[in-house]
Amino acid sequence: MTDRAFLDVTRSATGRRWIGPTDEETRQAEALAQGSSLPLPLCVTLARRGVTAQDIDSYLAPALRDLLPDPLTLRDMGRASERFLVALKRRERIAVFADYDVDGGTSAALILTWLRAMGHGATLYIPDRIDEGYGPNIPAMQALGREHDLILCVDCGTLSHDPIAAAGCDVVVLDHHLGAETLPPALAVVNPNRQDEDGSLAHLCAASVVFLMLVESNRRLRGEGVTGPDLMAMLDLVALATVADVAPLIGVNRALVRQGLKVMARRERAGLRALADVARMDQAPSTYSLGFLLGPRVNAGGRIGQADLGARLLATDDPAEAAAIAERLDLLNTERRDIEAAVRAAAMAQAEARGLDGPLVWAAGAGWHPGVVGIVAARLKEATNRPAVVIGIEDGIGKGSARSVSGVDLGAAVQRVAAEGLFLKGGGHKMAAGLTVEEARIDEAMARLGELLARQGAGAGGPADLRLDGLLMPSAVTPDLIERIEAAGPFGAGAPAPRFAFAHQQVSARRVGESHLRISFGDGMGVKLDAIAFGAFDGPLGPLLDQGGAGRFHLAGKLEINTFGGRSRPQLRLEDAARSDRAD
């Protein structure tokens, strides 16, 4: 391996050093290409993921039946499934208490859809983000317990000892958030992130845990000669949750999302069909559309509107109801973006004034809407390559969301600060967490959290290096090449889409809207490629390239197919650039 920067770019427009494939990765990619009919750019991507020649076929066509774990490998799964089926057979009253985000909404929708197919119903309960906060609370659980025989807590409940104890009926927890040393007094707590689990399934989101419970339930029904609902048709919900909750696309997650996208493309679920229509999705669903078009709209109800809208949309089989809810969520999402922009500007200004060179970037403000602090924390994290916390303060209490960077376990640190008493409560998982803190203790609590994160190496470097999978010429980029590369997907968290560089390019640029940049570029050999950079003028990339024919540039980004007006053309999703030393 060489320490030389790729294309000698040691500091790009966005302040990053470009890193190409290692010598070993290059050798492995060339060997894969020689032993197969696959293009070298795809083989570089496979080599970087550790795929061997023997594994190529199974990696490019992952079979869910080969990757899906036995549900009973998770503790308490047998007890949870058994109690669920008893409630079904006895026609007991079931309540589903779910978190207000996409993972919670899809988890609830999975259960409601399954039960409906079996001729049974359940009560949906989603707590209000502002009035009740995250997870089960004592008044809600007591009220549900008086009217129901079984409460299923999905995407929440692992740390809810007192509310679950107050329920007065059987409670089953199906969750994935980091567990504490002791578990709540539920009948069953199914969670791959319990401290007594081995961690092999820690990457599952809550919807995947629910899906496994339904797999086990169907298996038990088959043993009794009963056919359960079609679970494969529910994978669109699991895929949406996995991508929207930023679960790593590795192992079974990759197979779940890949198959779920195929199911979603059939447009059979009324809620997702209506949501895709209001989001003006005119292409086959992808991880991008799940994460940036559908997910934010499902989340909008829980963030700034009616908390149960997302789950109701995903669970309904009534097209008219689906259309009405989808329209409402679309409007709420537009309102959410406006609120987010105001909070983001204030939070960034505050964080910059405090300093961006520490192990933790944070901001807190009175009246900041709790529904957008998580999104703003993610933006701060992306801008600084550091864990970030954003807190909204109301009546002396701060409610915040935190987002982490790769290699830093934020959830464990937040849970530690909560155990020490500086947070009123706090928890989450490695990449995201929530917390509640007294306003008077925010500075002290953030200092302690920063100290714990520094021990994990947070803040040790500047902007993250930009990893590139190789060098391409514009003439090499065709729809066929992009489709071949997509076979290594789906791409997302834990499995980023490959990035490629284009060297010494002549650029023709034009501004689109307030902050976007569209360019056409080529190397002077006749073939040109289009590129789009969203938000380019919010940073240094837009001003650098918006100079007409002033010199040549190295460009870096991800390949995609742009379908517009019935035509499909290759396009670069531009992420970074650097000046070339070659003269025109």
Span 521-556, pLDDT tens digits = 998 877 899 999 998 998 899 999 987 556 899 999
Q: Does domain 355-455 have CATH number 3.30.70.120?
A: no
Instruction: State the DSSP string of 264-312.
Output: HHTT-SHHHHHHHHHTT--S---HHHIIIIIHHHHHHHHHHS-TTHHHH
Dmax (CA) of the chain: 79
Mean pLDDT of the chain: 94
Distances (CA, A) of 253 to 201, 286, 355, 472: 10, 15, 37, 30
**Residue 2's pLDDT band (cuts 50, 70, 90):** very low
pLDDT at 277 (0 to 100): 98
Beta bridge partners of 51: none
Q: ∠ at Cα 238 (298, 574), nearest 5°? A: 65
What does the alpha-carbon distance between residue 182 and residue 194 come to, in Å, rounded to a whole number?
Answer: 9
Q: Residues 436, 416: contact at Cβ < 8 Å?
A: no
pLDDT at 283 (0 to 100): 85
Phi-psi region of 50 (alpha: psi -120 to 50; beta: other; left: phi over 0): left
Q: Residues 92, 150: contact at Cβ < 8 Å?
A: yes
What does the alpha-carbon distance between residue 423 and residue 583 come to, in Å, rounded to a whole number?
Answer: 57
Tell me the mean pLDDT in the region 58-83. Answer: 96
Give the rounded distance of the alpha carbon of 359 from its chain centre.
Answer: 23
pLDDT at 514 (0 to 100): 83
pLDDT at 1 (0 to 100): 42
**Residue 104's pLDDT band (cuts 50, 70, 90):** very high
Query: What are 541's two structure tokens?
Result: 């990339």
pLDDT at 548 (0 to 100): 55
**Domain ranges within the chain, ordered by starting residue:** 6-20+468-579, 22-59, 71-330, 355-455
Q: Is a pLDDT exceeding 50 seen at residue 224?
A: yes
Q: Residues 108, 115: contact at Cβ < 8 Å?
A: no
Q: Residues 485, 469: contact at Cβ < 8 Å?
A: no
The CATH number of 6-20+468-579 is 2.40.50.460
Distances (CA, A) of 262 to 56, 217, 234, 241: 21, 24, 11, 15
Tell me the mean pLDDT in the region 223-247. Answer: 97
The model carries a pTM of: 0.90
pLDDT at 40 (0 to 100): 94
Q: Convert the pLDDT of each residue in 326-367 to its tens digit.
A: 999 999 999 999 999 999 999 999 999 999 989 999 999 999
Q: ∠ at Cα 551 (549, 554), nearest 5°? A: 110
The CATH number of 71-330 is 3.90.1640.30
- Percent of the chain exceeding pLDDT 90 equals 86
